[in-house]
Each structure stands twice: as C-alpha cells, then as structure tokens.
Amino acid sequence: MNVYNENVVRLIRLYLAGTISDEEKVVLERWVEEREENRRFFQEMLRDERFASEFSEFRDIDMEKGWSCFLSRTQARKPKLFTRVLRYVAAAIIPVAIGIAVWLAGEDTASGPERVSEVIHPGMNKATLILSDGVKVSLEEFEKSEIRLDAGRVAHRTGDGLVYENNGNGNKFELKYNVLQIPRGGEFHLTLSDGTRVTLNSATDLRYPEIFDERERRVFLSGEAYFEVATDSARPFYVMTDEVQVRVYGTSFNVNTRRPEGVQTVLESGKIGIKAIRSGDECVLKPGELACFDPKDGAMAIREVDPRQYLAWVKGIFAFEEETLENIMNTLSLWYDVEVFYQTESVKQLHFSGYLGRYKEIQNIFDVITDATGVLFSVKGRTVIVSR
C-alpha cells in the first residue's frame, strides 16, 4: 500500500479548494508526472463527485491546528511504528480521506491488513410509525401516499420521509400523539404539522402530536435528531428528553441523548434555552455553542464548537474529532446495525480524527482506521471483531 506524505495531500487539498499558489501547482504537477499511479490517484480525486460536494462543507477547517492537537494527544500512546501513517491520515482525512482512503485501500490487498470477509452495507431510509390508537405502520414497506390519522387528518408518505398536513394548528382540542421509531441501520425525515422539519438518526424515537394546539409545540426525543423549527413567536417549541428541555422559537439545532458524556445540544442558528429538568436552571445558547448536560453530577457545560462537525451526519458524513475507537464503533454499530466484539480491550481507548462518507460500505472506514492505528477488523455474520 502506498502512503503519500502530508505535503502531497496538502497540495491536493489546496488544488481542490482553488487556493493553490502557482509555485505549489508546479510542485503538484511534477508529482503527478512522476509515476502513473500518482496520476491515477489524482484523477480519481477529480472524478469523485460526492467527494467534491462533501469537500466544500469542510474546506474552512483549520487542518494544521487539528493535526497539532491530534499529534500532541497521540504521540505518548501510539507506537512509533505508526507515526508516519498517522500523520498522513490526520492530514488527509480532514477532509480528503473520503477519496484517498478508498483509493489506497484497493491498491495492495495481498500485503495489507486483514480485510472484512463479508460486506456490511450502510443504513437506509426506514422507520415504524405508531399511531395514536396503537396501530403500527412500517414506513419502509408502506407504498400508499397517504396515512389516515385521528379525526380524518392525513400524513403523506414521501420518498424519504413523512409529512403531516397543517389543518387546525392553533385550535383547542385533545392532543393525539404519534411515535416515530427509527431502528438501528435506519434514518428518516419528518415534517411536523407546523412545518418544522426533523431528521432522525439510527436508534431514535420521537413522540409528537399529530397537530399542535394553540399554546405550545412540544415533542419528546430519545436518540439523536436535527431540528429545523418553523418560526412561531406565539407558540414556543420544546424538545423534551429524560434529562433536559430545549426551548426554541425558530432555529436549527441538533440534540443527541446517546453521548457517553451526557446529553449534547448544538445550536446552528437562532437562539435556544437549555434547562436541566431536575434543577430547573436554564442556559441560553448562541450559534456555534454546544451544551452538554452530565446526568451523573447534574452539571451543564457550554463551549464554542464548529457546528458542522456535529451536524455532518445530516449531510451524509461521519465526523470524528479525537474520538475514542469505542465511541466510533458505537456510532458505526447503530448505523450499520452490527454488534462489536473486542479481542483486545485496550484498543477501545485509541483515538482517531477524520471525516468519512456515511453511505460507504463499512470496509472503507475500517481501512482508514487500520492505517491510522494498526487495529484489525473482521466480520462474522453481523458481528465485527476488533483485534490488534
């Protein structure tokens, strides 16, 4: 397997971003002409349409700063054998590794690390809808365009989601709740009766009224979802979890109840208030801030972040920033619907940074992680075995 040094990767990044200087372009052109495999690799980058669209989302990320942070935290615990590969991966993967890793993984399978023997495909659009009377509807298999709800109301099944009609919002009546359940290996899009759009991740449940009344808009979340809330100053929008309440008036944000460190809320735009249910204390978030509530000690921590990292999954990208391998595998297990077995417990604490295509086969992700850490992956049925 050929590993290109960080300078080559940096030049390709600058070329794709359109910020390469004339001198740097000459260096890159010379490298391309040196070997046929260099030319093929560069052409592969130019042809990858999905990579080009994903690249624009992350071209402003400070890769040099990210590498410095990554290196300072990994040098003490990574074997020197992997230093050169680690540097390559850290530089390439933000954001170039989507194309690079896939291309390199197929170069030399005979001498490379053990490969997965069975293909594990990514998740897909599927969900189960539980109506107010308890009837369950499989939205993966549902073919009709309409779903009949309570009191003659209707929800429309679209190509990738479910849309509720806006007929009666703001009136006084008894609320009838539906529950949308997204299984492991699934995702789904929902438009609520007020026009609020929700993208739900794997292993997520959302309970919501078929239509909102005149006082407020309140939904109940377990799992992870991205909300684009329709503006309505007269009726605040609430997202309720077991631990926190998010109060909104019209904005976009992400809520994740599955993080090991606590409930995370990231604000992309607008203004929201986060309140710990037990204490009642509310904090106000500004765009670009993350609030993390730790249920163990009841503390709420707020810090500035790049929201793109936390919203990347909505755009079809895995974003890992100094994430432990255990947390990464937890994320992958939900999306690919697999179980994970560790032959060596110590590998759980290895750290990894990178942006990877969410709709790729899982083998592509394993190849990159193997290059960075030396960890090996194999598959038996739907169980991924992690070893060293």
Model confidence at 108, in pLDDT bands (50, 70, 90)? very low
pLDDT(105) > 90:
no
DSSP string, 196-211: -EEEE-SSEEEEEESS
Q: Which residues of 146-183 are buried (b: 16+ CB within 10 A; e: fewer)?
A: ebebbeebebebeeebbbbbeeebeeeeeeeebbbbbb
Mean pLDDT of 242-267: 92
Give the model's pLDDT for residue 142. Answer: 59
At 148-168, the pLDDT tens digits run: 888 788 999 987 799 998 866
Model confidence at 104, in pLDDT bands (50, 70, 90)? very low
At 333-366, the pLDDT tens digits run: 999 999 999 988 889 998 888 888 899 889 888 9
At 274-329, the pLDDT tens digits run: 998 887 778 899 999 999 999 888 889 999 998 988 999 999 999 888 889 999 99
Give the model's pLDDT for residue 333. Answer: 95
Distance of CA 99 to the CA centre of its chain: 18
Domains and CATH numbers, the chain: 6-120+316-387 (3.55.50.30), 124-311 (2.60.120.1440)
Work out the end-to-end distance of the chain between its first and last CA atoms, rounded to an integer number of angstroms: 19
Tokens of 220: 């109940």
Average pLDDT, the chain: 79
At 320-339, the pLDDT tens digits run: 888 899 999 999 999 999 99
Angle CA 77–80–84, to nearest 5 = 115
Mean pLDDT of 243-266: 92
Give the model's pLDDT for residue 111. Answer: 38
